[in-house]
């Protein structure tokens, strides 16, 4: 019997530590999306319905700042792991701070509401980038299972995002907002417990990571570091800068799922199916469900296309195209609802989320992996942080758009989002050739 086979426990043919990361991130996303499903609805709900009675504009603005903060904090969160706490303790501390944040929101008062939001921002910054970092440590550099491992991990993200609105949504909307927030906190607590219990499974990867870091520093000293970039490196960095802009526009449209589309579901969509009346937050589960269904199909499709598989910038273009199309689809839906004052069929939003999922599956897996390939090795961490900032700015942009929900006719608002993203897609398609030249051999 081989000792190695006994030593390394497996999970679906992957290191057992992947399960620990999978469930940690699943519960973290459960708490994030469970709370996010309720956030804007709670802020704009009248006081007699237990809400904060904020104007839609104010609610959308807070939503924008909050979601922007969550992603922006990934940059200092990565730094803290690198320089101060290491990956393991950063994730642990992050999880505890997130859970505390949700429990603060479970207490009905304005100061605990804001303190809770700030805690979740800080905690997520510590947890989210670093738990992905731990997934990376599970595989040696030569291990061909790495990409598949990250795809499984992405399923964990979406499983959490799918389940959360089904639990936190009805609790919050039907019984009490604060029970919904509390349920998010319970989820994160379960995640932290299983993370601590699973420590032994991620330990070998973490040890390897620490050794690599020491070796890398030693090599840097020995070689002497040159601080300037070559021409080729500058070209590749410029590609990251160009894609940063397009990525921001994509997420600016996409992340309105929790704001303007959530309001559209709540106010303008028929919330019944056959005899069943369901809460509007149920729609928040639709998009992650589509990701779970369609990611294997997209993976198969790219493989099937072989050398005809589109290049990374082309996939980016398709991402923008699909998200643009999704908002275009909603223009007649919104016109129907507003001009006739009726609630429209749930099929409108389901169609919107289907198209957005196609966009996400073209763009999201490509973005981060492309940065790791394009950035000069000594600044990969920094460039990944920069790329998280594009998601962060996108979230702010999304909140800004949602702020017009009550002030503009909705076909106009959704039409403007569609027009911007479709134009960006068109420009990007035109730029594919020059961008590929700048990329010099990277696909």
**Which residues of the shown chain bind ligand GLN in the complex (CB under 6 A)?**
29, 157, 161, 251, 364, 391
Q: How far is the CB of 20 from ligand GLN (least distance, A)?
A: 18
- Please say whether the beta carbons of 280 and 265 come within 8 A: yes
The sign of the dihedral angle between the CA atoms of 27, 30, 31, 33 is positive
Q: Which is nearer to ligand GLN, 150 or 229 (CB)?
A: 150
Q: What are phi and psi for residue 351, nearest 5 degrees? A: -60, -45
Q: How far is the CB of 416 from ligand GLN (least distance, A)?
A: 21
Q: Which is nearer to ligand GLN, 157 or 320 (CB)?
A: 157
Residue located via tokens 């010099």: 440
Q: Which is nearer to ligand GLN, 95 or 411 (CB)?
A: 95
Q: How far is the CB of 71 from ligand GLN (least distance, A)?
A: 7
Q: Which is nearer to ligand GLN, 202 or 361 (CB)?
A: 361
CA–CA separation, 37 vs 34, rounded Å? 5
**What is 299-331 written as a DSSP string?**
HHHHHHHGGGSPPHHHHHHHHHHHHHHHHHHHH
Q: Which is nearer to ligand GLN, 182 or 359 (CB)?
A: 359
CA–CA separation, 263 vs 268, rounded Å? 8
- Residue 58: Cβ-neighbour burial (10 angstroms; 0-12, 13-18, 19+): middle
Q: What is the CA radius of gyration of the chain?
A: 22
Q: How far is the CB of 28 from ligand GLN (least distance, A)?
A: 9
Q: How far is the CB of 344 from ligand GLN (least distance, A)?
A: 26
* Other beta carbons less than 10 A from residue 365's beta carbon: 19
Q: How many helices (H) and strands (E) does the chain have?
A: 16, 4
Q: Which helix (H) or strand (E) holds 354?
A: helix 347-374
Give the residue ranges of DSSP H helices in 224-346.
231-254, 260-268, 286-305, 312-340
Q: How far is the CB of 101 from ligand GLN (least distance, A)?
A: 17
At 52, list the tokens: 């904060």
Q: How far is the CB of 15 from ligand GLN (least distance, A)?
A: 21
Q: Which is nearer to ligand GLN, 131 or 428 (CB)?
A: 131
Q: Which is nearer to ligand GLN, 90 or 158 (CB)?
A: 158
Q: How far is the CB of 68 from ligand GLN (least distance, A)?
A: 11
């Amino acid at each position: 019997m081989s000792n190695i086979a006994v030593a390394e426990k497996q999970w679906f043919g992957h290191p057992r530590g992947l399960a620990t990361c999978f469930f940690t991130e699943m519960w973290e996303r459960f708490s994030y999306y469970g709370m996010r499903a309720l956030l804007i609805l709670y802020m704009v709900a009248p006081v007699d319905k237990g809400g904060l009675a904020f104007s839609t504009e104010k609610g959308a603005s807070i939503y924008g700042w909050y979601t922007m903060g969550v992603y922006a904090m990934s940059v200092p969160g990565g730094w803290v792991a690198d320089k101060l706490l290491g990956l393991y303790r950063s994730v642990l501390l992050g999880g505890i701070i997130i859970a505390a944040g949700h429990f603060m929101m479970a207490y009905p008062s304005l100061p605990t509401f804001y303190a809770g939001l700030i805690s979740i921002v800080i905690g997520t910054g510590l947890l989210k980038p670093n738990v992905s970092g731990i997934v990376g440590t599970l595989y040696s550099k030569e291990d061909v299972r790495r990409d598949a491992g990250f795809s499984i991990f992405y399923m964990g993200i979406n499983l959490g995002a799918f389940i959360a609105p089904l639990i936190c949504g009805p609790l919050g909307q039907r019984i009490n907002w604060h029970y919904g927030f509390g349920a998010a906190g319970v989820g994160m607590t379960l995640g932290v417990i299983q993370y601590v219990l699973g420590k032994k499974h991620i330990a070998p990867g973490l040890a390897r990571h620490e050794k690599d870091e020491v070796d890398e520093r030693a090599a840097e000293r020995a070689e002497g570091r040159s601080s300037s970039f070559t021409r080729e490196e500058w070209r590749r960095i410029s590609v990251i800068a160009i894609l940063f802009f397009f990525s921001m526009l994509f997420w600016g449209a996409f992340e309105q799922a929790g704001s303007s589309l959530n309001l559209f579901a709540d106010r303008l969509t028929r919330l019944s199916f056959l005899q069943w009346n369901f809460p509007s937050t149920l729609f928040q589960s639709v998009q992650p469900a589509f990701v779970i269904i369609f990611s294997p199909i997209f993976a198969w499709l790219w493989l099937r296309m072989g050398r005809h598989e589109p290049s990374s910038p082309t996939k980016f273009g398709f991402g923008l195209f699909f998200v643009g199309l999704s908002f275009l689809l909603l223009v007649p839906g919104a016109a129907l609802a507003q001009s006739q004052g009726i609630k429209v069929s749930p099929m409108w939003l389901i169609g919107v989320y289907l198209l957005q999922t196609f966009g996400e599956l073209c763009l999201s897996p490509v973005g981060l992996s492309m940065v790791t390939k394009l950035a000069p090795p000594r600044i990969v961490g920094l460039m990944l942080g920069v790329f998280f900032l594009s998601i962060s700015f996108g979230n702010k942009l999304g909140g800004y758009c949602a702020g017009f929900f009550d002030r503009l006719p909705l076909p106009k608002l959704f039409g403007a989002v569609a027009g911007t993203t479709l134009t960006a897609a068109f420009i990007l398609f035109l730029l594919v050739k020059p961008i590929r030249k700048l990329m010099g051999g990277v696909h």
